[in-house]
Structure 1
Amino acid sequence: MADDTSKTALDRKFISLEEDYELRDWTKTLGCTEQQLREAVKAVGNSASAVRQYLGKK
């Protein structure tokens, strides 16, 4: 997903593994490593809520 500053609410609902700053911000927010984040996105997709739920179960 291309970053569009006019759609910031939509951007917070999805996790992009393509942008370094998003990796940094999401790992900090979710309290996980980059590897854990990548595994979660691979397992459940890039929905932030699905990734939160997945990481919470581990």
Structure 2
Amino acid sequence: MADDKTKQGPADSSRINLNEDYEVAYWTEALGITKEKLSEAVKEAGSSAKAVREYLGKK
């Protein structure tokens, strides 16, 4: 089943999917960072939202 592009948030809020533009937009806004910083954080910490927040020093 394809993702519903009308949804504003991530399909799985515990994971960050850099392959979906709407998820990247959601996470960059939610975390207050750029797309590049988000990509770097996911590369370093993995796709877990919790791990990315910890990597960025955010709660």
Aligned residue number for residue 46 of structure 2: 45
Q: Which runs of 5+ in 1 are unaligned?
A: 5-9
| 1:17 maps to 2:10 | no
TM-score by length of 1: 0.79
Q: Could you report, residue by residue, the CA deviation over 1:18-54 in whole angstroms, capped at 9, with x for unpaired residues?
A: 0000000000001100000000000010000000011
Question: How many equivalent residue pairs?
Answer: 52
TM-score by length of 2: 0.78
Shift of 1:3: 4.5
Aligned residue number for residue 54 of structure 1: 55
2: CA distance between counterparts of 1:37 and 1:3?
A: 21
Aligned residue number for residue 30 of structure 1: 31
1: CA distance between counterparts of 2:16 and 2:56?
A: 14
Q: Which runs of 5+ in 2 are unaligned?
A: 5-10
Runs in 1 of length 4+ with deviation above 2 angstroms? none
